[in-house]
Amino acid sequence: MKKLLAIVAMVCLFAAPALAADQIVVGFAQIGAESEWRVANTNSIQSACAEAGFDLRFVDAQQQQQNQIKALRDFITMGVDVIGFAPVVESGWDEVVAEINEAGIPLIIMDRTTDIPGDDYYVTWFGSDFVEEGRRAANWLVEYLKKHGRDGEEISIAELQGTVGSGPQLDRKRGFEEVIANHPNLTITMSQTGDFSADIGRTVMESFLKSGQKIDVLYAHNDDMALGAFQAIKEAGLTPGKDIITIGIDSGRAAVQAVVDGELNVTVECSPLLGPQFVDAVQRIMAGETLPKVTYSIEYVYDLEGILGAKNAVEELPHRQF
Ligand code: AHR
């Protein structure tokens, strides 16, 4: 009997996971709450971790890189099992990431990127292809102008950039400029950061309009800034989506509604719903599996005209999850 019990105990020992879900301690350093996207991203991470039963230590860095760095160092001191973070900007992470690596804590990077060379310092990265988003926005514009018989016209573009030095700001600008470089009639005539915030987007758009320069197109690096800018456009007596062609990125419910209302001409999707992927990555790391270094989200474009295969915003609206 004793022998049988010993065998059963051994089988249980080998079959049991190294740690029960509620014993897995995960640290996540979030950027802040600058946009609807970020709020949805936080909700997605928190609810997926709660559902998985993880002990999540979540820090909102309130847009400050030094707060994110401090949170990451605190996670090392706590000895968490896995660390995740979305880097607010690309540079300045070398030291703290080296400390995480020295402590032997697996690192998941999501959404944004760092400029640390190589890919040995993290286990897995997942999120959106920001350069491709910029290209999609510009390609949509080129086709839209063609469809509306304006492809021969000199077009001036006002650009509202995201947080300076962040992956999406650098890459959305790069992708957009790469495409318009082949169309000499398209020029970015004014460009400033709106820090991915609706309020700053509005203020900057006000100053663009007050400059008196012609604005044919607004290219905003996220929808929050575009929707904020709409208020300035309306106060100037103009109609967004008609007097100014408007382009945003993210495709949250409010933006898709704005497309349906005809104020936003197009929104390029960037999904914040990364929580389930984060949980899956943590579980696979804890199980000793090897993960892909890079995974891009599958995303679409929403308008009312089906330009370049864009999906229809009216049909999409009831299905939006953030
Ligand atoms: O990194 C993703 C970007 O960050 C989203 O487009 C923006 O809305 C957010 O603040």
Tens of pLDDT, residues 226-257: 999 999 999 999 999 999 999 999 999 999 99
**12 has pLDDT over 80:** no
The continuous run of DSSP H or E covering 294 comes out as strand 294-296
Q: What is the pLDDT of residues 266-304, one digit of tens each?
A: 999 999 999 999 999 999 999 999 999 999 999 999 999
Cα–Cα separations (whole angstroms), residue 27 to 166, 170, 271, 283: 22, 27, 22, 14
Specify the pLDDT at position 22.
80
Spatial separation of the C-alpha atoms in residues 300 and 307, rounded to whole Å: 12
Strand 266-269 to strand 301-303: parallel, antiparallel, or no bridges (unpaired)? Answer: antiparallel
In total, the chain counts a number of residues equal to 322
Cβ of 270 closer than 6 Å to ligand 1, yes or no, is: yes
The percent of residues above 70 in pLDDT, for the chain, comes to: 94
Dihedral in degrees, nearest 10, Cα atoms 51, 252, 220, 179: 90
Q: Return the pLDDT at 202.
A: 98
Helix (H, G, I), strand (E, B) or coil at 264: coil
Residues 6+ apart with CB under 8 A from 182: none
Average pLDDT over residues 307-314: 98
With tokens 């090392």, the residue in question is 76
**CA–CA dist 116, 135 (Å, integer):** 24
Ligand 1 test: best mutation among 31, 38, 128, 219, most atoms within 8 Å of CB? 38
In angstroms, what is the span from residue 244 Cα to ligand 1's centroid?
23
Q: Which atom of ligand 1 is nearest to the CA of 249?
A: 6
Listed residue (112, 75, 81, 82) closest to 96, CA to CA: 75
pLDDT for 1 beyond 70? no
Stretch 75-84: mean pLDDT: 98
Confidence check: pLDDT of 98 > 80: yes
Domains detected in the chain: 23-128+272-291 (3.40.50.2300), 130-270+301-319 (3.40.50.2300)
Give the confidence band of 19 by pLDDT, cuts at 50, 70, 90.
Answer: confident
Query: Within the chain, where are the H helices?
Result: 2-15, 36-52, 65-78, 94-103, 130-147, 167-180, 198-210, 223-235, 253-260, 275-286, 313-316
Residue 290: DSSP 8-state? -
Whether residue 2 has pLDDT greater than 70? no
